[in-house]
Chains A and B, each alone.
Chain A
Amino acid sequence: MASIGDFITQEEAGIEPPMPLAGARKRRRRFSMWRFIVLLVAGAYFLIPIFAGLKFSLQNIAGRFSFQAIENLPSAPGFSSAFWLSMRLAIATLVVSVLLMVPTTIYVHLRLPRMRRLMEFITILPIVIPPIVIIAGILPAAPLWAKASPYLLSFLYVILSMPFIYRSLDAGLSAIDLKTLVEASRSLGASWLRTLTQVILPNLRPALLSAMVLTLALVLGEFTMASLDLWSTIPVWIVQFNTATDGHVQTAASMMGLVGTWVFLTVIVSIDRSESRKSRRRTGAL
């Protein structure tokens, strides 16, 4: 008869598992070496230009280490107005994008699931159609008052950010049982607004944050549309200023933009984590 002792594992019994074959080990080592090489090449591809830019921005004209370019940045002609314009456009774009895309994506998921493919196709168009085509088409058609306002760019940036924001939200909504959550909430007496704010959005927060960060990075880096609409945003200022100086200051501006996006991302993620912790603590204390 079988006893309990018959069912102990080999490891528990102190028996070593059989050694893998030498050929398999060699193949595994070769595979991990290739993985390391690919990682190294990809890392170098991304990091070398950033490192070079950072190094250049931390040098003076004589090629020595210096914070001079960064110190000169705020007082550089046109920088602060370009910076605040970019910030205003980023905020306006984020607000319009979220207000437009969140309800739309939720509606498509809930009521028109068959339209998801069409939505994917529509939202991918801004990637396929070059920004220069969009702005060249919009500018002659836009009324004068719209052309006179920098916020026309925000509406164009909403179009450009659609592929990123839709995909993030789509992935987030697919990860939750949206229909059941909505029906549960409604049957418990919640209005649509309360269902959105208290049930859907809290569960969509990571997707929403990633959509917002992608949108922000896009707005802060967009050059073509702003340049053709004759608004001096940060990227336009960098190009314009470049022609008049040695290049250290505008490289510092690019680096600051990059660092700024990372800081923004970190801040958003930290706020999100801290909110989640607080909310858990609050509910835990109940």
Chain B
Amino acid sequence: MTNVNEVATALPVVEARPPSGSRVELDGLVRVYGTVRALDGFSLTIEPGELVALLGPSGCGKTTVLRQIAGFEQLDSGRVIVNGQDLSNVSAQKRDMGMVFQSYSLFPNMNAINNVAFGLRMRHQRSSQRLEKAAEVLEMVGLSDQAKKYPHQMSGGQQQRVALARALAIEPQVLLLDEPLSALDAKVRAELRDQIRMLQQRLSITTIFVTHDQEEALSMADRVCVMSKGRIEQMATPAMLYRHPTTAFVAQFVGVSSRVPTIYRDGTVDVFGQSCMVRGDERPNDGAEVDVLLRPEDLAIEPDPQGAGFVTHKSFLGATTRLVVQVRETSVRIDVRSDQGEDLELGQHVNVKVISRDVLVAARLESSASSSPR
């Protein structure tokens, strides 16, 4: 690919970046819409070449963060710093950010190659040079045979790959992906997900990826930032986030959890007659009514005609089978190997055991005393 210094000739505000990607610092971002604080002192540092996923429910502020970084909206307070340069008051035009939108956003009046070359044209590159570069990037996303096609002649997946090529062609300081896969069907989504990750690693480009799909976030990102109400709930690697959620929100939002009501006593809780250590720093008062949050793989079952639980649902997931087991007034989800799951009948009595070293507790939900699992 062409050197960054050749491409960014028309962007005087942003200096050439180190080849390993840019460091992004978001410092106390605040954005208020009327009475709603979309961002409430949001701070985050992203290392060069890192892919960070912003994950959260609708309205948590993840897209607002991305739009602030891109410069599409004015901050109420806070700073966006890229490679040590404060870009908070720099217009979107001069920020040198490549963005891929949820809706394909290709220019309908231009064919694929001209769409990709658009950013280079804005940087006053010579026609032959920019077309060569655009063709190169199109080839990189596997669309060199579609170069002359117009957006309406391409599928959704192809359009999104052209949009990705267009964002990459300018060799941006930061690549911003705003739910780029959400409009695609499952198969194309999985393919493009792998392609984005591969390209991001190959080009070592700092990338921020907004999604509400936890599978996407966990499978693609170096680190995942779970957001709620304009703030960070937890920032960790996918494995840490899944295995060691630090808040009940993260435990509930990331992965599948069942809530089992119990009483907290002296650093332990009783789960189905078994004493379990409590994870995390936050400790409730002794005797407090709490919910234990259990992942499907935190539990195991043993068929036992005298067992306290019985199987109410079975879902075949391929290598594993997910069971829903009713234990007294609580139902929990448990993943078992599919060969084990095949032998279990609906209504069969089982014993449920906690097999994880420790468990996470959360404040009792009214509904969880007789809840069905989330």
Contact = CB atoms under 8 A, between A and B. Distances in A.
Contacts of A177: 103, 105
Contacts of B176: 187
Interface in A135-159: none
Given A188-B119, A190-B93, A190-B122, A183 B72 contact: yes
Nearest to A279: B109
A199 B113 contact: no
Given A187-B95, A188-B166, A189-B10, A194 B122 contact: yes
Contacts of B108: 176, 203
A286 interface: yes
Interface in B161-183: 163, 166-167, 170, 176
20 contacts: A180-B105, A183-B92, A183-B101, A187-B71, A187-B72, A187-B92, A187-B98, A187-B176, A188-B98, A189-B10, A189-B119, A190-B122, A194-B122, A198-B118, A199-B109, A202-B109, A203-B108, A283-B110, A284-B148, A286-B131
B148 A184 contact: no
A50 interface: no
A273 interface: no
A187 B103 CA distance: 15
B93 A183 contact: no
- The winner among B10, B101, B107, B114 for most chain A CB atoms within 10 A is B107
Given A176-B108, A180-B105, A199-B107, A185 B114 contact: no
B228 interface: no
Contacts of B92: 183, 186-187
A240 interface: no
Q: Which of A177, A183, A190, A284 has the most CB of B within 10 A?
A: A183
Interface in B81-135: 91-99, 101, 103, 105, 107-111, 113-114, 118-119, 122-123, 131
Nearest to B94: A189
Given A189-B11, A189-B94, A283-B110, A183 B122 contact: no
A183 B107 contact: no
Contacts, number: 80
B278 interface: no
A188 B122 contact: yes
B70 interface: yes
Contacts of A202: 109
B210 to A, nearest CB: 14
Contacts of A61: none
